[in-house]
């Protein structure tokens, strides 16, 4: 059985869009001729469905040049070990993703949130190749420029292909961003820098790791960067904040012996 390819841009298929329903995180298939690669794979239990769609779109499974981890969060990479075994393709990711993936680190990968009774499996997987800022991943005649865009996690990567940016969990169409959580390596200062870099770049389209693909809106990206900048001085994000001005006020008021007004 054959499946008609529905590219969203030349050389780019997104598997949720292709399926016409939400399977999980966005899984991008970038292809040129018979050669292709995947950006993220999602949860383990959707790997078979995704591979079957790829087969039905007539991409030779043996021509998979790489499966890339945008970062080491369970909802993006739980299926990596399984697809690596199926396709025998090299798995690529940032050096800081290497250890959590190799050990299946349940905290860093978000597989376990004991306080919420969330316990997911995190099959271990070895990265075959480490990619970082300035590297280029080639598929056919296409060149994906690797950007290291930390903030959501320390290993977060983005990939530029001409006017497209596979932007990971940096920003979504509604201005939300990938979860900020100290336990899995979030850093708000880095996050703001990554957002500003995206705003300043001349890419036209953002292809995020969750939700709809959208045209880059500099005002939205700037508002989002400013919102995150405000978090740096708010208690809301705990140890991810750099200070809390209310405590300075409190110190002064204690010193002055001020009573509740």
Which positions lie near Zn ion, rule CB under 5 A?
169
Taking the complex as a whole, how short is the minimal distance between the CB of residue 93 and Zn ion, in angstroms?
14
Taking the complex as a whole, how short is the minimal distance between the CB of residue 32 and Zn ion, in angstroms?
26
Query: What are φ and ψ of residue 204, in 5° steps?
Result: -105, -30
Of residues 169 and 190, the one with the C-beta less far from Zn ion = 169
Taking the complex as a whole, how short is the minimal distance between the CB of residue 4 and Zn ion, in angstroms?
29
Query: Among 6, 149, 185, 15, which residue's Cα sits nearest to residue 83?
Result: 15
Taking the complex as a whole, how short is the minimal distance between the CB of residue 67 and Zn ion, in angstroms?
16
Q: What is the distance between the alpha carbons of residues 186 and 194, in angstroms, rounded to a whole number? A: 12
Of residues 44 and 169, the one with the C-beta less far from Zn ion = 169
Of residues 18 and 70, the one with the C-beta less far from Zn ion = 70
Of residues 57 and 207, the one with the C-beta less far from Zn ion = 207
Of residues 35 and 75, the one with the C-beta less far from Zn ion = 75
Taking the complex as a whole, how short is the minimal distance between the CB of residue 148 and Zn ion, in angstroms?
16
Taking the complex as a whole, how short is the minimal distance between the CB of residue 2 and Zn ion, in angstroms?
31
Other beta carbons less than 10 A from residue 168's beta carbon: 30
Of residues 18 and 109, the one with the C-beta less far from Zn ion = 109
**Among all residues, whose Cβ is closest to Zn ion?**
169
Q: Do the beta carbons of residue 43 and residue 81 sit within 8 Å? A: no
Q: Do the beta carbons of residue 152 and residue 208 sit within 8 Å? A: no
E-state strands within 89-230: 91-93, 112-113, 118-119, 129-130, 136-139, 142-148, 157-161, 164-168, 205-208, 214-215
Taking the complex as a whole, how short is the minimal distance between the CB of residue 199 and Zn ion, in angstroms?
20
Q: How many residues does the chain have?
A: 261
Of residues 18 and 155, the one with the C-beta less far from Zn ion = 155
CA trace torsion 12, 18, 24, 29 (10° rounding):
-30
Q: What is the distance between the alpha carbons of residues 84 and 81, in angstroms, rounded to a whole number? A: 5
Beta-carbon contacts of residue 239 (< 8 Å; ≥ 6 apart) = 182
């Amino acid at each position: 059985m054959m499946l008609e390819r529905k590219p969203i841009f030349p050389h780019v298929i997104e598997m949720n869009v292709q399926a016409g329903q939400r399977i999980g995180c966005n899984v991008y298939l970038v292809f040129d001729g018979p050669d292709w690669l995947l950006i993220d794979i999602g949860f383990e239990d959707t790997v078979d469905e995704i591979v079957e769609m790829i087969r039905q779109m007539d991409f030779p499974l043996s021509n998979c040049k790489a499966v890339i981890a945008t970062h080491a969060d369970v909802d993006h990479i739980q299926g990596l070990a399984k697809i690596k075994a199926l396709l025998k393709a090299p798995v690529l990711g940032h050096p800081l993703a290497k250890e959590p993936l190799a050990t299946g680190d349940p905290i860093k990968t978000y597989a376990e949130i004991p306080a919420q009774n969330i316990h997911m499996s995190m099959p271990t997987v070895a990265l075959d190749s480490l990619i970082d800022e300035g590297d280029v991943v080639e598929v056919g005649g296409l060149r994906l420029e690797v950007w290291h865009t930390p903030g959501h996690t320390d290993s977060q990567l983005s990939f530029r292909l001409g006017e497209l940016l596979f932007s990971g969990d940096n920003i979504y169409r509604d201005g939300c961003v990938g979860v900020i959580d100290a336990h899995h390596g979030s850093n708000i200062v880095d996050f703001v820098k990554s957002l500003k870099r995206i705003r300043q770049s001349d890419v036209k389209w953002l292809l995020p790791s969750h939700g709809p693909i959208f045209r880059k809106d500099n005002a939205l990206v700037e508002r989002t960067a400013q919102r995150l900048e405000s978090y740096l001085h708010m208690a809301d994000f705990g140890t991810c904040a750099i200070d809390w001005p209310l405590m300075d006020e409190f110190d002064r008021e204690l010193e002055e012996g001020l009573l509740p007004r």
